[in-house]
Structure 1
Amino acid sequence: MKRGLTRRSALAVAGGAALSMPAFRRLHAAETLYVNSWGGPWERAAARHLFEPFTRETGAEIRPVSPVSFAKLAAQVRSGAYEFDVTTLGLAELVRAHQARLLEPLGPVAERLSWPGATLMNAVASHAFATVLAWNAQKYGDEPRNWQDFWNLSRFPGTRCMQRYAARVLPLALLGDGVARDKLYPLDIERSFRALDRVKPAIRVWWTQGQQSAQLLRDGEIDMIAIWHGRVLELIDDNKPVKMTWQDAEIDSAYWAVARGTPRKDLAMRFVELSVQPERLAGFCKEAGYGPLNPNAFRYITPAEATRMPTAPQFESQVFTQDMDNFGGDVAQVTARFERWVGA
C-alpha cells in the first residue's frame, strides 16, 4: 500500500485543474449529472462531501439514482437510454463490466491520477470496506482470533453466518482451511468448496443485506459471522456485546466508473476525478464508514479515525485485498456453482 503523489506532481495536477476550471464551469453550469447511488448513509455522505462540492465548483447539478445496479448499467449501455452516467463497482462487478465493455475509457484522467493503484480496468479507486470476523462476546469472550477459529466447530461450537456472495466467501474458506494470505490467489476453487462443506452444517443464515447481518448479530440469533466492518462498528458504538478482529480482514474496493457512451462523458469524468481528491474522499469515508484508497486522504484523517478504516496503514500487515484479476476461475461460473451449493 505504498502509494502517493510527489509534491511536484500534486502541484501540477492542482494547478492544471485550477487553470481549466473557468472554461469547465461555463460549459457545464446548466447540466445535470446522474450518479448511481447506494442510498441511505452512503448517499448522505456522498451528497455532503462529493456532490455538493462538485456543484459549487462546476455549477452542474447532481441527481442520485438508486440502487446501484450492474444490470441497469449493462442495459443502458446496450440501449443508449441512460438512467445514470456514473456508478460505483466492486471488484467482481468491475471485472464483469470490463469484460463486457460497459465502461468509458478514462483517457487523460488516468494520467493525472498518479498514485499507485489509482486506476484499474477503466475505473478509479475510491474507497473500501472489509469483511471481518465478528462474534457474540457473551459466548466467546475475547476469542476467536481468525478464520481458522470460525471453521473450528469443536473448539467454538455455535451457529455461523456468512454472506451469500461467492467472490467474498471462497477466499475466507481457504483461510479457514489454513492457507496463508499471500498464497490465496489464484484461488483453489475445489479446496474452497471442500472447506465450505465442513462448515455448512453450522451456517444458520446466508445473509444478503448489510442491515440483516447486523440484526442477526445484535439479536443473538447467530454466534459468529463474516460481516462488513462498518456494521460491527455500529453495534459496538451502541454498546452491544459484540467484538471483531481486523486479522485476515478481506478488503473489497469500490471504483468509480463512467458508463460507456453516455452523452455527459466529460462532466462524468470530471466528477470521478474530483471525487477521489484527498480531502473530499477523507470526509466521505469518515462519515460513511469506509477506508480511502487514495493514501493521501489520510492527511485529513486523525489516528483515532483511522482505527475504524480497513485501509489504514497500521492494518496493512493483517488484511488482504481481493484479487479478481487473478481469481482462479470464471467468476460467473463459480458464482453459479456457489448458488447451487447453497441451495443443495
Structure 2
Amino acid sequence: MRTRTASLGLALLAAASLQAVADSSSLTVISFGGATKVAQQNAYFKPFEQSGAGKIVAGEYNGELSKIKAMVDVGHVSWDVVEVESPELIRGCESGLFERLDPSIVGEASTFLPGTVSECGVASYVWSMVLAYNPQKLKQGPASWADFWDTQRFPGKRGLRKGAKYTLEVALLADGVAREDLYKVLATPEGVDRAFKKLDQIKSSIQWWEAGAQPAQWLVAGDVVMSAAYNGRIASAQKEGSALSIVWPGSLYDPDHWAIVRGSPNKALAETFIRFASQADAQQAFSTQIPYGPIRQDALAKLPADVQRQLPTAPENLAQAQLVDAEFWVDHGEELEERFNAWAAR
C-alpha cells in the first residue's frame, strides 16, 4: 500500500534512535505513517498509554522485510510491533522473522472477520483498492472496471498503480472475469497473457501513480478522469471538501496486520498492545478516524450508518468486493512484477 524504498542504514539508525528513547515499560510500534498513523495514535497509542499499560514509541517505515531481517539476524531487535501487509506477514512468518502468537490473546475468534487472526499476526484494519472519479468532471460516472476501459465514453487519462498487483486483477475484472474466478484465471499463463492484452488496450491512456496521495490529487485537478485508489485516501479528500466518488463493485480488499518481531525483548507487552488494539471499542474509534474497516463485526455494528457506508467491511461493499489473495502474490509476485516492469517500460 505504500512505496517500498528506503535506505537500510538510515532505517537501522532510526531504529536505534527510537530504542534510545524507550524504557523498560515502553513498546516500539512501527507503522506506515500518514493519516493511518494519526488514526492509530488517537485510537490505539494514546489510549493504551492512558490505560497505564506502558508507553508507545511510535515510528514508521515503508514495509520492507529486509529491515526486520537485519535486526533478527544480528540479534539486536529494537522494534517490537510492526504493521505489515498480508504477503509480508506470510513471508515473514515462514522466514522466522515474527513471533508465533496464541490466538486466544485477542479473545473469541468468532467475532473477527475470517482470516484476520493467524499464527504470526492479528489484522489491524481492512482497506480497499477502489475505482474513484470526480463527479464534477464527469456528467455520468463509471460503474465498473469495464467502464474504466471505455475510452470512448470516458475520454482522457486514467490512473493505475504502477505495479502488477491490483493492476492485473482489475484488468481481468474489466475483461469479464468473475470475482470468484479471478485468481484461478490469473494463476494460468493464459490468464496472465489475457490481463496484459487487456492493459494493452488502454496503455496510452494510463497515468501511473506510485504514491497513495496521487490519485485524489489528480482527480481534483482534472489530470485524470478516473483512477484506481486506496479508499482511505479518497475518503480523506472527501473530508477536506473534494467531491470525489467511489465505485465499490469490483473493489479489492485486504487487511494490514500487527506482528511481533522475533526476539522482541517486550513480547508480553506487545501481546498486551495487540489485544488492546483488537478490542471492539478501539476498533470502532479507529474507523471513526479513518474509513478503514474494523476486523471485528461487533465494532462495525457500533458505528453510525453514514460511517459504515464508507468502509470496505460494510456488508453491501464487502458483498461486491474480492479479497486479495496474499498466498498467490507470495507464490507469483516476483515473476509477475518483473513481467509488468518490462511491459511498462516498452
TM-score (norm 1): 0.84
Q: Name the CA distance, whole Å, in 1 between partners of 2:169 and 2:317.
A: 19
Q: Name the CA distance, whole Å, in 2 between partners of 1:216 and 1:203.
A: 12
Q: Which residue of 2 aligns with 1:189?
A: 192
Q: What secondary structure, in the 3-state scheme, does the structure 2 residue paired with 1:140 have? A: coil
Q: Percent identity?
A: 32
Q: Name the CA distance, whole Å, in 1 between partners of 2:105 and 2:324.
A: 22
Q: Name the CA distance, whole Å, in 2 between partners of 1:66 and 1:235.
A: 22
Quick one: which of 38, 54, 69 aligns to 2:32?
A: 38
Q: What secondary structure, in the 3-state scheme, does the structure 2 residue paired with 1:81 have? A: coil
Q: Name the CA distance, whole Å, in 1 between partners of 2:59 and 2:91.
A: 21
1:1-344 equivalence runs, <5 A: 30-70=24-64, 71-109=66-104, 112-115=107-110, 116-186=114-184, 187=186, 188-204=191-207, 206-327=208-329, 329-344=331-346
Between 103-112 and 210-219, the greater mean CA deviation after superposition? 103-112
Change (3 A) 1:203 1:238: same
Q: Give the CA deviation at 1:162.
A: 0.8
Change (3 A) 1:46 1:329: closer
Between 85-94 and 137-146, the greater mean CA deviation after superposition? 137-146
Q: Give the CA deviation at 1:314.
A: 2.5
Between 54-63 and 223-232, the greater mean CA deviation after superposition? 54-63
Change (3 A) 1:328 1:146: farther
Q: Give the CA deviation at 1:136.
A: 3.1
Q: Give the CA deviation at 1:256.
A: 0.9
Q: What secondary structure, in the 3-state scheme, does the structure 2 residue paired with 1:122 have? A: coil
Q: Name the CA distance, whole Å, in 2 between partners of 1:196 and 1:232.
A: 24
Change (3 A) 1:295 1:170: same
TM-score (norm 2): 0.84
Between 89-98 and 242-251, the greater mean CA deviation after superposition? 89-98
Q: Name the CA distance, whole Å, in 2 between partners of 1:247 and 1:51.
A: 34
Q: Name the CA distance, whole Å, in 2 between partners of 1:81 and 1:189.
A: 42
Q: Name the CA distance, whole Å, in 1 between partners of 2:102 and 2:156.
A: 52
Q: Give the CA deviation at 1:300.
A: 2.4
In the alignment, residue 79 of structure 2 is paired with which amino acid? F
Q: Is the 8 A contact 1:189 1:328 kept in 2?
A: no
CA deviations on 1:221-264 (whole Å, 9 max, x unpaired) are 11110011122223334443432211111112111111112121
In the alignment, residue 50 of structure 1 is paired with which amino acid? Y
Change (3 A) 1:110 1:331: farther
Q: Which residue of 2 aligns with 1:3?
A: none
Q: What is the root-mean-square deviation of aligned Cα atoms in Å?
A: 2.2
Q: What secondary structure, in the 3-state scheme, does the structure 1 residue paired with 2:183 have? A: coil
Q: Name the CA distance, whole Å, in 1 between partners of 2:130 and 2:39.
A: 23
What is the count of residue pairs matched by the alignment?
315
Q: What secondary structure, in the 3-state scheme, does the structure 1 residue paired with 2:142 have? A: coil
